[in-house]
Structure 1
Amino acid sequence: MKIELTWAWLEGHPSLDFANTVIRRGWTEYELINSTADLDSWLDAAALPAPRPATVTEGDLQAFLPLRNASLRLLRAAAGHGSWRAADVRYLNEALLSHPDVTLLGPTMGSVRSQPVGAPTPFTLLLAKLAAEVRDVLAGPRPDLALCDAPSCGQLFLQRRPNQAWCGPPCGNRARVARHHTTNDHQPQD
């Protein structure tokens, strides 16, 4: 099945935009970043925590996917769906350690600026910043982090109310229709 890349995110939060590059249609998951062109398209649309690299290479794609996969599993685990894996924690921490940054005083009183240690490539710096965004979501209690379990979704989102089960009204409607069909399929026939 070919999925059209629309990049319609729920939150605009870099860590969730990063993780939500895997989507579900029905109950099957689909990878949205299959080529450097897909990655380039995502970079154009995403809320990035660092400057967008001018170009991306096959090597950048090969660096993006494992970090995204580890981040996706950790975020899902934090949302109550899946296991917290030590290997994923190590992978995320390695990305953070590969290009740390320091916070320096800024040009005006009360301001600060971040500067990477060393001279990472723009894409490597972006991956380290994305890892930091994921870390920040996972580091504190996030009872509002949830996984939309509606058919054809599977996106991570931040709940706006404590009992919010779906990321938005369209998913709620799909879930209710699916539940209605399942309930009616089990009713005795006259």
Structure 2
Amino acid sequence: MADVPSWTWLEGWPALDFVNTVIRRGWQEVELIRTPADLDSWLDAAALPASRPEQVTESDVRDFLALRDPALRLLRAASGHGKWDASDAGVLNEALAAAPEVLAIGDGPGLAEARPVGSPEPFTLLLARLAGEVRDVLVSAPSELALCDAPGCGQLFFRRRPNQAWCGTPCGNRARVDRHHRKGPADA
């Protein structure tokens, strides 16, 4: 049986769950989506903004990564870790244009629902909606976005307080231990 990763969700935000499929082991970045089985597992576990395809192919993995990588760079740039690249924004805009939607009146007052224009393939619609989730974070909440720089993490999260440096207590503990070990006994 393939070694399928367990998925740890920090926020439950589809945009962050999408890009946090790259993690760190120590200071080395590790790709969690390498095979159709990995992507299938993630699709089963994630809170998706659209229904998932019944079957996942190698092509779907390539398309997923081709959108996820620029989304990750843009969100890292928004968190102050990297440079904004207009070509990355162009990739997300292309995904949005591949399955345009209209906001239609819902089933009652105050309700609306996004409806795709035409009949896009399920995976195309899913990628477009993930791109939309990333767009919404970049537009509405970039100042709360942060990168957990603890060893073994590297995930993006939303700060719950202005001075929050790590995504959670375990990462804060790992960062303090790492800092202590790097100081060494002579520096203590």
Structure 1 unaligned blocks of 5 or more: none
User: What's the CA shift for 1:4?
Assistant: 5.8
Q: Residue 125 of structure 1 aligns with which residue? A: 125
Query: How many residues in Structure 1 have an aligned counterpart in Structure 2?
Result: 187
Q: Residue 41 of structure 1 aligns with which residue? A: 41
User: What's the CA shift for 1:128?
Assistant: 0.2
Q: C-alpha distance in 2, partners of 1:95/1:104?
A: 21
1:15 and 1:137 in contact (8 A); partners too: yes
Which sits farther off after the overlay, 111-120 or 166-175? 111-120
Q: C-alpha distance in 2, partners of 1:181/1:86?
A: 40
**Letter of the 2:78 counterpart:** A
Q: Residue 58 of structure 1 aligns with which residue? A: 58
2:4 and 2:38 in contact (8 A); partners too: no
Q: Residue 103 of structure 2 aligns with which residue? A: 103
**Letter of the 1:130 counterpart:** L
Is 1:72 aligned to 2:105, yes or no? no
Q: Secondary structure at the match of 1:87?
A: helix
User: What's the CA shift for 1:140?
Assistant: 2.7
2:53 and 2:123 in contact (8 A); partners too: yes
Is 1:174 aligned to 2:174, yes or no? yes
1:24 and 1:152 in contact (8 A); partners too: yes
User: What's the CA shift for 1:60?
Assistant: 1.0
**Letter of the 2:117 counterpart:** V
TM-score under structure 1 length normalisation: 0.94
Is 1:148 aligned to 2:148, yes or no? yes
2:4 and 2:41 in contact (8 A); partners too: no
Q: C-alpha distance in 2, partners of 1:168/1:86?
A: 32
TM-score under structure 2 length normalisation: 0.95
Q: CA offsets, 1:17-40, max 9 Å, x none?
A: 000000001110010000000000
Q: Residue 81 of structure 1 aligns with which residue? A: 81
1:3 and 1:32 in contact (8 A); partners too: no
